[in-house]
Amino acid sequence: MSFKQLTPLFSVSGQITEADVAAAAREGFRAIVDCRPDGEGAGQPSFANVSSWAAKHGLEAIHTPVTPSDIRDADVEKFARAIESAGGPVLGYCKTGKRAATLWALSQAGKLGADAVLSAAKGAGVDLSALAPRFASSSGEEKIYDVVIVGGGSGGVAAASSLLKRRPSLSIAIVEPADTHYYQPGFTLVGAGVFEPEMTRRPMASVMPDRANWIKQAVATFAPESNELTLADGTVLRYRALIVSPGIKLDWEAIPGLVETLGKNGVTSNYRYDLAPRTHELAQGLKRGRALFTQPPMPIKCAGAPQKAMYLSCDTWRRNGALDQVEVEFHNAGAVLFGVPAYVPALMQYVERYGIKLCFESKLVAVDGASRVATFEQKDTDGAVTRVEREFDMLHAVPPQRAPDFIAKSALAGETGFVSVAPDTLQHTRYPNVFALGDAIGTTNAKTAAAARKQAPVVAINTLSMLDGKKPHVGYDGYGSCPLTVERGKIVLAEFGYGGKLLPSFPKWLIDGTKPSRAAWFLKDRMLPPIYWRCMLKGREWLCDHHLLEMKAEPTAK
Ligand code: FAD
């Protein structure tokens, strides 16, 4: 029998014999998928027979039996997994080959587009035009994606992979304008000269899940009532479910004089990929003088990052003998060193060891780079605000942060401008088919990649529930993590959830998060980058499960 090739990786045929299996092996197929229920026709070899022939000829055999009038999503998913796991060309067969082609078309439409799969089948002589209504639509503009994801950062890619791992046949579009994906938690170690900058970035194309459609554009506006959004070029995308994860806006312009002087005049910031190496250069070069480290008002991403930069710079000065000659000030717009009291004693030990002057309720409001003067608004105990100028030799500035403009002015925003979601289910408080995660949500957890790691499976599971007409049924406990790099080789590993509840991932004997430890440094330096690239972004939900709450009570959003 001749096989009909739909793509180089997939062909179909009618009922096969052992000779056909031998021919398939010679032609380089890796696996055979039997799409017929056993006993469907007289003289039909059973799957067990075909399986034994396949084994004899070195092929894998998979059974995905379906009847033509009743091909369900679960069958399509099983089939999608089967051809994906084969790792090479696959031969699907049934009585005529049409059912196998149908399963293939349904499993690939989300990835290749309905038009492409229909024409591939037609090219092989299999007419699947009757399937058209089952596809969301056959034309690009009219297409309705199962899920559209806004943002291909930590949260967006992790959510897409978590969804596809559970349901490979979903049609997913990820809207993301950037060419590069950043592992921002690594910026702190770049700023200390521990990581090379290149370790913290990869081409966006390399992190996009194969089965998702990457739309390389920015989202401009949302119309959640009609399940649509509009891209910057005016294209309208339609969806059954929307997942929003565009991160947080770094508002550098909010501090007059800062943008012009960043990267010059002793001014740096670990909050920018290109400037993080400058932090290390400046710290190494400074032998005496004054170094200022600033922290804007909350919320910011990784609330510990401003002081991490400071401790690691102090450690550099300690190691090269300059610490006594460098006057270090921490200007924090907030009123405390760290929001969760359990970690403060360990941090205070380092503040004292490095001789850091703490200036609370002191907000950076202007920078004069040429004169090397930073201006702060400082609040005294009576609430009176005065402007104070401080000369500096080095300034590590962290910009104020807010919801991205296109979110803040959209119907998805809550009062703070961030996406309004239920803190547990991460479902939008007004639009049940909208979910959100990452830095863009208006919840009280620490805005960290670690939080997005825990949120991604919650969003994936609840989105699938919603698509199946059910309620969200898992919850997020507010977990976030902030590895406070107090010196090179030691970290105070803050891990906590809503309300500041401590949520350690490891037993105390291994890592006591309230104390500086080498094990926590090893975790950040060696373990977390591969966990990020190879697990979190690939749908391998390592270090997630025990923060997934089964919703027993009614979720807080419908
Ligand atoms: P991002 O990863 O920032 O991704 C947002 C994506 O949305 C971007 O790719 C962007 O291009 C895209 N986007 C923006 N606008 C649009 C639009 N209009 N349309 C479509 N797409 C859009 N976390 C930790 O867990 N541990 C740490 O130690 C840690 N340290 C940090 C240190 C620093 C210096 C910094 C800056 C961050 C740190 N973080 C840390 C925080 C962590 O990086 C973020 O919390 C995490 O990346 C948030 O993920 P996200 O998907 O919400 O946003």
Instruction: Give the ligand 1 atom nearest the CA of 246.
Output: 7
Nearest CA to ligand 1 atom 21: 151
Of 162, 184, 231, 310, the residue with max ligand 1 atoms within 8 A of its CB, to mutate for a pocket test, comes to 184
The whole-number pLDDT of residue 327 equals 98
pLDDT, residue 138, reads 41
Residue that wins the pLDDT comparison between 174 and 68: 174
94 is catalytic: no
| For residues 268-287, average pLDDT | 98
Q: Which tokens is 297 given? A: 């008002």
| pTM recorded for the entire structure | 0.79
* Rounded distance between C-alpha atoms, residue 49 and residue 526, angstroms: 49
391 to 36, 328, 380, 396: CA distances (angstroms)? 79, 12, 21, 13
State how beta strands 249-250 and 474-476 pair. unpaired
Q: Reply yes or no on whether the pLDDT at 557 is more than 50.
A: no
Lowest mean pLDDT among 6-10, 175-179, 366-370: 6-10
Percent of the chain at pLDDT above 70? Answer: 96
183 CA to middle of ligand 1, Å?
A: 8
**Residue 157 CA: which ligand 1 atom is closest?**
51
Ligand 1 closest atom vs CA 438: 52
Confidence at residue 321, expressed as pLDDT on a 0 to 100 scale: 97
| Separation of CA 450 and ligand 1 centre (Å) | 11
With b for 16 or more beta-carbon neighbours within 10 A and e for fewer, the 407-419 pattern comes to bbebebbbeebbb
- The answer to whether residue 91 scores a pLDDT higher than 70 is yes
State residue 71's pLDDT score: 79
**CA-closest candidate to residue 244, choices 322, 156, 367:** 156
Q: How many other β-carbons are positioned within 10 Å of the β-carbon of residue 166?
A: 15
Q: Which of 154, 199, 547 to mutate to test the pocket of ligand 1 (most atoms within 8 A of CB)?
A: 154
pLDDT of 141: 45
> Is the pLDDT score of 231 beyond 50?
yes
Which of 310, 435, 439 most suits a substitution to test ligand 1, by most atoms within 8 Å of the C-beta? 439
3-state DSSP: the chain helix, strand, coil percent, rounded to 5? 35, 25, 40
Q: Among the options 35, 314, 359, 482, which is catalytic?
A: 482
pLDDT class for 114, splitting at 50, 70, 90?
Answer: confident
| Position 135 confidence tier, pLDDT thresholds 50, 70, 90 | low
pLDDT at 170 (0 to 100): 92
- Band of the pLDDT at 277, cuts 50, 70, 90? very high
Residue-wise pLDDT for 382-393, tens only, equals 889 999 999 999
* CA gap 261, 371 in Å, rounded: 11
Query: Which pLDDT band holds residue 547 (cuts at 50, 70, 90)?
Result: low
Please identify, by atom number, the ligand 1 atom nearest to the C-alpha of residue 270.
Answer: 34
Q: In the predicted model, what is the mean pLDDT of residues 388-404?
A: 98
Q: Is the pLDDT of residue 116 over 50?
A: yes
Tokens read off for 37 = 């229920």
Categorize the per-residue pLDDT at 133 as very low, low, confident or very high, splitting at 50, 70 and 90: low
Per-residue pLDDT at 60: 95
The Å distance, Cα 338 to ligand 1 centre, comes to: 21
Identify the bridge partners of residue 16 per DSSP, sorted by sequence position.
none
Average pLDDT of the chain? 93
pLDDT tens digit string along 203-219?
A: 999 999 999 999 999 99
Residue 182 has pLDDT above 70, yes or no: yes
What CA–CA distance (Å, rounded) separates 540 from 493?
A: 23
List pLDDT tens digits, range 39-90.
998 889 999 999 999 999 999 999 999 988 777 777 888 888 888 888 899 9
Residue 555 has pLDDT above 60, yes or no: no
Ligand 1: list residues with CB < 6 Å: 150-156, 175-178, 184-185, 187-188, 218-219, 245-247, 270-271, 301-302, 305, 404, 406, 438-440, 447-450, 452, 481, 483
| Residue 57 Cα to ligand 1 middle (Å) | 49
Ligand 1 pocket test: pick from 302, 409, 453, 482 the residue with the most ligand atoms within 8 Å of its Cβ.
Answer: 302
Q: How many CA atoms lie within 13 A of 520 on its CB side?
A: 27
Residue 421 pLDDT = 98
Ligand 1 mean position, distance from CA 156 (Å)? 10
> Whole-angstrom Cα distance, residue 373 to residue 312?
23
Residue 548: predicted pLDDT: 64
Predicted confidence (pLDDT) per residue in 308-366, tens digit: 999 999 999 999 999 999 999 999 999 999 999 999 999 999 999 999 999 999 999 99
Known active-site residue 535: no
The predicted pLDDT at position 558 comes to 38
Residue 552's pLDDT is 56
Catalytic entry in 302, 314, 359, 535: 302
What's the CA-to-centroid distance between 448 and ligand 1, angstroms? 8
Q: How far is the CA of 181 from the centre of ligand 1 (A)?
A: 9
What is the structure's pLDDT at 438? 98
Cis ω before 341 (30° cut-off from 0): no
The CA-atom distances, in angstroms, between 150 and each of 283, 345, 380, 436 are 38, 40, 42, 9
Model pLDDT, residue 177: 97
Reduced to 3 states, what is the DSSP secondary structure of residue 439? helix
Domains of the chain plus CATH, in order, are: 4-138 (3.90.190.10), 145-248+403-550 (3.50.50.60), 252-400 (3.50.50.60)
